[in-house]
Each structure stands twice: as structure tokens, then as C-alpha cells.
Structure 1
Amino acid sequence: MAQAVRRPLRRKAQDMIEGASRRRAHADEGFSMVELTVAMLVLGVLSMAIIGLVLQTQSMSESNRSRIAAANLAARELDIVREEFTRNSGAPIAVADQGVVVNPHQLTGQTAGQPLRVDGTAYTVRRTSAWNITGNGVSACEGGAMVKYPTLRVQVEVTWKDMGAVAPVTTVAALAPKKDDKVAGTTGYVAVKVTDALGQPNPGRRVVVFSATESRSGLTDSSGCAVVQVNPGASGTMYSARMSDAGLVDITGDPEPEKVVGLVERGKLNNNASFAYDRAMSLRIHFVDTAGDLVADSVMDGQPYTVVASEYAGASGGRMLVADGAVVTLTGLWPTQYGAYFGTLPPPGGYDTVAPGGPGVPTIEVEVPTP
């Protein structure tokens, strides 16, 4: 009886041993195709993540190296300007007279006026000098007064090739002339306010102030104010101001608008001039039939149409033009809302309008009446 019981137990144990052996043998056969595919997919995802992290780290490292080099160039430029500013009694005025200069001090062995090269990267150093005068207001453009002892604000901005979305390196210093320097008493100052299409301060805009005998320039600061030092005659000199940034216009569409500043006297600040100045927009007009399809160019060639601006200078925002085809593109426009219609009389049902902004060129479809 005992022997009969032991026999099934031995058989069961043997079966368990054989089953374990078969499982080990199956495991030794390797991955199945599904398991191999999943493993390769996981490995690919991890590899892409690691490669992306490496590339991002490398890009950040290169960007940091460029910023360090740019900061060193900016500090170098300010050091040179400080030395020039204190060289003699006439140096502060000479530095201020330079206004806006690009790459004024080259590195050893490099070409004057060209970008400065450091470790194979080209850097552009732009220096702006303007007298810091507040007058009676927050900025020189908001209040006029006798100018007794101004300081010179020097800003150095360094950019480089392929900097992408990285911000330029900017350094600012305020330089105070010595009491016996030839600054107060013989010089005058013109402050020009520049705003954009929304009436907000427009920084970084170049302003040229000129008379019959001299021309000087400056850049608007964060408040949209540019202060330019001038040298009027003993009884004062008449000056004007002009904007000259590429791609920008005033409300009349003029890319280089001018305004009379008026009489500038020695030791005084004149802030009579201001400009609304912004990047020009384009407008495209499609002349279509009642079905919305473009008409033939021959239909519109020589035909009048009217463009209406919501903001304008003068008595009316409407302007009659002559088409030369079914598609017309207008450029150099003040950025505001525009409408357009066929002929010279607005249609009874109104006309379509479009505002600046958004992707592409703003487009208006103008329906052409059927003959």
C-alpha cells in the first residue's frame, strides 16, 4: 500500500521537474517577434529623447558662449567710451555728437566698420549716445527747462549671426561730464517723441535733427523719447527733425516724415516735435463678380476704385485709385483698418473692411457690378 502511494508521488515530482525544464528551454529560445518590436520601439523613443536632450544642451552651451562673448564686447566698448569721454574738456560733446555708431572699435587685425569676430562668430556692436535730460517731466519729451548739468546716456547693444530668439546683450551707462567740461552753456537739446500706431512709446527708432549747418541723430529710449544734442548759434538756430527707419511710415504713408522743431537756444531744451511712426502694412484687393470669382484683368484695367482708411491725415480717409488688373496690392500703408469698394461712390449695402495683423497680407474682396 505504501509503495503504491509513493509511486504516484514520484511520478508527480518527475512531471514537475520535466515541466520546469521545458519552461527553461522555452525561455532560452529568446524574444518573440512582438517582444523584439516593442523593445526596439522603446529603445528608439529613449534614444530620441536622449539625442534631443544632448542637442538642446549643446545649443544652450553655444548660446551661453555667444552671450558671454557679446557681454565682453559690450563691456569693452563701454570701457573705451569712458576713456574717450574723460580725455579732455571737449571729449563729452565729441562722444555725444557721434550719436548712433556701429562697430566703432575693431579688434586687433580686423577691418574697421565690419562685424567683430570672436571664435569664428561675427558680432555687431551698436552704440547709441544721447543726453539724459528730464526737464520738468518724467522724460525730456514731457517737459522743457533750462539745461544746467546733463549726463550722457550710452547704450551698447551686441547681436550676432544665427542668434535666433536669443535676446541681444544690452549694457547702459550714464556718464557725467566734469564741472569744467564744455557741456553746459553753449549747447542746446532737442527731444523728439515717437509713438506707434496704437499710441504707445516706440523705442529704438532713429531720429535725425538738422539745421542748415549741422545734422545729428539719436535713438528713442524705452519711453519713446530721443534726445539729441545740437550746437545752436548765439541767438539760437532753427532746427527740424526727420524719421528715417526702413520699412516704417507715418500716418500719411511717408517713410521719411519731417517736422519743424523750431528755434533752439543755447542751454535750453526744445521738445516741440513728435511723430506717430510704425511699420508699414500691405493690403491686397481682389475684384470679384457676383459669384465670388475673380474677374478678368481686362475688366478692371483702368477702372477706378476707392480705399478708405479708418485713421488718416487730412479731410477724408478715402482715396480714389485706378486698377491695372483683377488683383491689386498696395504697400507702404499706415497700419490701420481699411475698406474698399468699386468706383467712387460707396455701395448702399456698405463694403468690406480688414484690419492689420494675422498671417499673410490682409485681403478685401470687392464686388464688381455686372454691366
Structure 2
Amino acid sequence: MHTKGEQSADEGFTLVEVIVASAIFLAIGTAVTAALMVALRTAATNEGRVQAANLAARQIDLVRSGDVSALAGTTYDVQRGSLRYRVTQTVDSQTVDVGGSACDGASGAEAVKRVTVIVTWDGMGDATPVRSDTYRTLPVTGSSATKGTLTYKVVDRNGTPAAGAPIALRKGGTLVKTSTTRADGCVVFSNLDAGTDYTGTLTQAGFVNNQHLASVSKANVVVARTVTKDPGFVWDGAALLTVSASAPAGYPVPSNVPLSLFNSNLTSGSLTLPGCGNTPCASLSTTASGATWTARGLFPFASTYQLSSGACGTACTRAQTSVQATPGQTTVAAAPAFGGVAATAGTLVSGVLGSNAVRTLTATNADLTSERYTFPTATGGDGTPAKMALPPGRWYIAQNPGETNDAYRVLVTVQPGQTYSVAVLAR
């Protein structure tokens, strides 16, 4: 019999002790299993890399021992145990000015062929492919008296090589080859007929060049035994801008107001976007409170665009706002607000502007006379003014569209969000 305070030796563990012990064993087991899995993956990766390195070395040996004039790109698969390996060989003809890319440096006589061998394997995950490079020197006379090489380079808005850009090569309008740029932004067309004019065309859905063109072509005459290196293309995902501008209540926005963009990288420094149907373009929608443009097909320059409503020309003095376009993305921005002009037309009475007349008036940009808008309603004989929203800037309000006589027109300097009342002398 147990005395008070004694504990039986066979009472066992409490439930709490069992749960704690199980949790400890589970944590230890999980950690061991994770470490084992990591070790197995590391071993598999190392084994795959060893086999890939052997295959790359074997291919490089074949390149070094073979006929340099017969070197060409190739891809083939090799099975080693449970893994399948893919061996990819590319061959670039290069000038004596050998750089990191076949597209770098100046055009010149073929001097060497650079061979790159890349080996990948099934289940490699995020492991780095095995790569080996070697150079083969060409004879002094070059590789062929009747053939030449043409390269194109593609970079994005930051000058970074753009991979995966498709280039189609045509001879006399006939498609002869297609290829995509590699990681270095370079595409190489070899074994081309010398003395022939070839055209490389870059077209890629959703992309434009730095002049907003969705398809760009470059023509080159291939020279025998020469690597002709075209400077190539500046190419990036087309940007889309949604730009809005408010207007004073009761002042309707004209239905044909364009959107102006300014950037120092543009050929003319400015770009006026008409209605869609062109590339790039801007579709306009108007409401009682303002206007919204949807601008498509824009090159996303690294520097900002300056925005202005209306056709502002190259030397724009209107209020502008800045926006940063993003490759392949939509950016929302606000342009400076419209101003509002309320105009009436009067007649001369005893040498002064007197009773109102029913007239249709126009607003003409004082700094760019090709921009002109007609007030949507006529002025009333009872003095009711015609109202219209106008982009910020200097505007001549007149009855006749081409009026140049200051006696029959009024100059209004419209500021964002402001309204103005004017009386115009009618002829």
C-alpha cells in the first residue's frame, strides 16, 4: 500500500506529456525530412550539372576539331540515365572587333566564328544552364567569297538588350528567314547571298519603336566575307494613357479637340494625336464636366511626357502636366483644366458696340491658326451668350473663321478653370 505523498512507479505519462513529446518528435522528423529532401535535390542538381558539363565539353571538342567553314547552329537531345539533356549550339560570325555580342562593334570582315554551347536538362528547376564558348579563326580570305552575315540588335527604352523580339528577313519581298533576339538582344542571319538587298522587319503585337511604329523595317546590302551590323531597333511595350481634363460647368467641350504630347526624344519634339485610325492615336469622349482622351500606341520613353489639350504645336506656351508612361501598361493622368468663354455678338450703334445680334462665332488659336473651334450654339438676339470650353492659351473670338481685323475679333488668354465673357463686333 502506498503511503500519502508517494507516487506509483507504473502510473505512466500524463496526456500533456504525451502531446508535448509527440510535438517534439514531429518537429524533429519534419526537420530531418526537409534536410534530406534538400540533400537529395542538391545531389540531383550536382549530378545533372556534371553530366551537362560533360556534354558541353564534348560538343566544344567537336567544334574545335571540325571544319570551321561547316560550323552551324544545332539543337539535339541526349538521354543520360533518367534525365534528358538538351544541347543547343549557336554560331556567330564576328569581325576582329570581337565583343560580348555578335551585334556589338563595327561592321567588318569576318575574322572568327564564336560558338556557344548551352546545355539544359529535365527537372533542373532554377539551376543555371551549363554554358561553354569557343572561337574558331577564319582564313585570311574569310569564310566565303559569295556569302555574308547580317546582324540586328534590339534594345528597350533604357538601352537594355531585348530578348525574344521576332525579326523576319526578306529578299526581294520574299520571306527567307525568321529569328528572335537572344538574351543579348542580338539576332544573326548567316550564309546570305552577297550583293543582295535584304530587309529585316520587326513586328510584335503590343510593341512599338521609338517613333511609335508597330512595324519597322531596315534594309541592308550583304557584302561577301563581311559581318554587316545594323544598329537595329529601339523597341518596347506600347504604353496607353488615359488623360482627363475638367471644364467649367455649362461650357461644352468641342468634339474634335486633340491631345498634344511633348518629349525631347520625339523627332519634332511634339506629337499631336488625332482620332483613332492612325498609330498612335487618341479617342476623345466628352461630358458636361470635361473631356477624356484614351491615347494608344505610344512609345514609353524613360523621360516623362508633357501633356496639353488641343493642337499646341512645337513651341507650346499652354499649361502642361507631366506623366511617366510605363511599357505595356495604362497610366492615368490629368491635363490642365479647360477654361470657359461666353461670347455675344453686337452691332455698331452710333459708333459703339450696341444691340446684340444672332451670330455663330469661332475661336481660333492665336499661336497656331490651324486650330479652330465653332461655338456649338449661336449668340441670341436677346443677349444670350454662346458658351464653349477651350484649352488654356490665347484665342481669337470672332464671327468669321479667318478674321484678321482686330476690330472684329477679341483676344482672350484662357487660364485653366477660369471663365470669360466677351462681346464681339459683328460685321
- Aligned residue for 1:322? 283
- Deviation, 1:131, is 0.9
Cα distance in structure 1, aligned partners of 2:98 and 2:49: 38
- Aligned residue for 1:51? 33
Q: Which aligned pairs between 1:209-248 and structure 2 lie closer than 5 A? A: 211-212=171-172, 215=176, 228-233=189-194, 236-243=195-202
- Deviation, 1:130, is 0.9
Cα distance in structure 2, aligned partners of 1:125 and 1:256: 33
2:8 is the counterpart of 1:30? no
Q: Which amino acid aligns with 2:14?
A: F
Q: Which aligned pairs between 1:1-371 and structure 2 lie closer than 5 A? A: 22=6, 24-25=7-8, 28-31=11-14, 33=16, 35-75=17-57, 77-78=59-60, 85-86=66-67, 92-96=68-72, 101=74, 103=75, 105=76, 123-135=85-97, 141-147=104-110, 150-160=111-121, 163-177=124-138, 179=139, 183=143, 185-202=145-162, 211-212=171-172, 215=176, 228-233=189-194, 236-243=195-202, 249-254=208-213, 256-261=215-220, 263-271=221-229, 273-283=230-240, 285=242, 306=259, 308=261, 310=263, 313-315=266-268, 316-320=270-274, 321-322=282-283, 330=296, 333-334=299-300, 336=302, 344=310, 350-351=320-321, 353-356=323-326, 361-366=329-334
Q: Which amino acid aligns with 2:331?
A: T
Cα distance in structure 2, aligned partners of 1:137 and 1:74: 22
CA RMSD after TM alignment: 5.1
Cα distance in structure 2, aligned partners of 1:137 and 1:247: 31
Cα distance in structure 2, aligned partners of 1:127 and 1:312: 39
Give the alignment's TM-score, normalised by structure 1: 0.59
Give structure 2 stretches of 5+ with no counterpart.
Answer: 248-254, 275-281, 287-291, 341-388, 390-427
Give the alignment's TM-score, normalised by structure 2: 0.53
Cα distance in structure 2, aligned partners of 1:63 and 1:136: 34
Q: How many residues align?
A: 314
Instruction: Kindly indicate which of the two structures has a greater share of residues assigned to helix.
Output: 1
Question: CA, structure 1 residues 345+255, in 2 after alignment: closer, same or farther (shift >3 Å)?
Answer: closer
Cα distance in structure 2, aligned partners of 1:67 and 1:322: 55
Q: Is the 8 A contact 1:309 1:336 kept in 2?
A: no
Question: CA, structure 1 residues 282+196, in 2 after alignment: closer, same or farther (shift >3 Å)?
Answer: closer
Question: CA, structure 1 residues 366+269, in 2 after alignment: closer, same or farther (shift >3 Å)?
Answer: same
SS at match of 1:127: strand
**Quick one: percent identity of the two aligned structures?**
19
Cα distance in structure 1, aligned partners of 2:258 and 2:82: 55
SS at match of 1:30: coil
Question: CA, structure 1 residues 151+269, in 2 after alignment: closer, same or farther (shift >3 Å)?
Answer: closer
Cα distance in structure 1, aligned partners of 2:118 and 2:99: 27
Q: Is the 8 A contact 2:150 2:227 kept in 1?
A: yes
